[in-house]
């Protein structure tokens, strides 16, 4: 008897899950960090849905078409008094609908205006400094673009703090020119003016 009962459970439970509409299988509201636009939802209709089917859907749901988004997606205004949650759950049951989703806003990420970051040419910094792509550096700019109060130490053989054509054109500058640390007690004259053991270490730190 116990064996029969377990056997029935193994059949009924999966069957029950298979009867849940696909639009309800995953709760779109389980991430409280996502904010959606109130009063409207995005609906994707099943392939083959015709114009008259759209009209019948809008009428039966008291919905208003706000915009065609393409590829079968439509932005719809929900009727007064209905919440976004209710629209998603109820409209997902319609056999003309493939999915219903809240309208989550999308925001532009920080996009650098530096042409050297164009990854399509061999002159690009992505080809010359492979490490930036390796650590997916642009992703960090979506979090912060830096602060002048942060001191950065460059562990390398040196940096070009001044533009190589500065002598010919005084207007040319680099990102570091007005930001690099300056040792005011040192003068570039071939001498160790501040007595720290390094000659001409006025800009940044010269450990050579």
Q: What is the CATH number of the domain that holds 49?
A: 3.30.70.80
Which one of 97, 130, 145 terminates a domain?
145
- The confidence score (pLDDT) of residue 92 equals 92
Tokens encoding 132:
């930036």
- In this structure, the answer to whether residues 178 and 201 fall within a common structural domain is yes
- The confidence score (pLDDT) of residue 12 equals 43
In a domain, 13, yes or no: no
- The confidence score (pLDDT) of residue 178 equals 74
- In this structure, the answer to whether residues 134 and 151 fall within a common structural domain is no
In a domain, 19, yes or no: no
Q: How many domains does the chain have?
A: 3
d(CA 76, CA 65): 5
- In this structure, the answer to whether residues 128 and 155 fall within a common structural domain is no
Which one of 77, 106, 135 terminates a domain?
106
In a domain, 1, yes or no: no
The model's pLDDT over 96-136, given as tens digits with 9 standing for 90+, comes to: 999 999 999 877 666 666 666 665 565 666 656 777 777 77
- Number of Cβ within 10 Å of residue 8's Cβ equals 10
In a domain, 163, yes or no: yes
- In this structure, the answer to whether residues 193 and 166 fall within a common structural domain is yes
- Domain range enclosing 65: 35-106
- In this structure, the answer to whether residues 136 and 155 fall within a common structural domain is no
Which one of 48, 83, 106 terminates a domain?
106
The one-digit pLDDT tens for each residue of the chain (208 residues) are 555 544 444 444 444 433 334 434 345 555 545 688 999 999 999 988 888 888 899 999 999 999 998 888 999 999 999 999 999 999 999 999 999 999 998 776 666 666 666 655 656 666 567 777 777 777 777 787 777 777 777 777 777 777 777 777 777 776 677 777 788 888 889 999 888 888 888 877 655 4
Counting every residue, how long is the chain?
208
Three-class secondary structure assignment of the chain: CHHHHHHHHHHHHHHHHHCCCHHHCCCCCCCCCCCCCCCEEEEEECCCCCHHHHHHHHHHHCCEEEEEEECCEEEEECCCCCCHHHHHHHHCCCCCEEEEEECCCCCCCCCCCCHHHCCCCCCCHHHHCHHHHHCCCHHHHCCCCCCCCCCCCCCCCCCCCCCCCCCCCCCCCCCCCCCCCECCCCCCCCCCCCCCCCCCCCECCCCC
In a domain, 40, yes or no: yes
In a domain, 12, yes or no: no
- In this structure, the answer to whether residues 152 and 206 fall within a common structural domain is yes
Give the rounded percent of residues in the chain with a pLDDT score beyond 90: 24
In a domain, 168, yes or no: yes
- The confidence score (pLDDT) of residue 7 equals 46
- In this structure, the answer to whether residues 137 and 185 fall within a common structural domain is no
For 41, residues 6+ apart whose C-beta sits below 8 A from its C-beta are: 75, 76, 78, 84, 87, 88, 91, 100, 101, 102, 103
């Amino acid at each position: 008897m116990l064996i029969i009962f377990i056997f029935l459970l193994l059949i009924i439970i999966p069957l029950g899950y298979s009867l849940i509409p696909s639009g309800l299988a995953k709760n779109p509201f389980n991430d409280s960090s996502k904010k959606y636009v109130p009063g409207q939802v995005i609906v994707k209709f099943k392939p083959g849905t015709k114009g008259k089917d759209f009209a019948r859907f809008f009428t039966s749901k008291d919905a208003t078409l706000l915009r065609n988004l393409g590829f079968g997606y439509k932005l719809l205004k929900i009727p007064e008094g209905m919440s976004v949650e209710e629209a998603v759950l109820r409209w997902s049951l319609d056999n003309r609908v493939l999915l219903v989703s809240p309208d989550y806003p999308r925001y532009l990420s920080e996009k650098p205006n530096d042409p050297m970051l164009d990854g399509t040419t061999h002159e690009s910094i992505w080809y010359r400094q492979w490490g930036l792509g390796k650590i997916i550096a642009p992703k960090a700019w979506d979090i912060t673009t830096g602060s002048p109060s942060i001191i950065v130490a460059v562990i390398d053989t040196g940096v070009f703090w001044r533009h190589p054509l500065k002598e010919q054109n005084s207007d040319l500058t680099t990102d570091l020119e007005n930001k690099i640390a300056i040792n005011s007690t040192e003068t570039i004259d071939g001498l160790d003016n501040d007595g720290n053991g390094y000659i001409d270490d006025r800009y940044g730190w010269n450990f050579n």
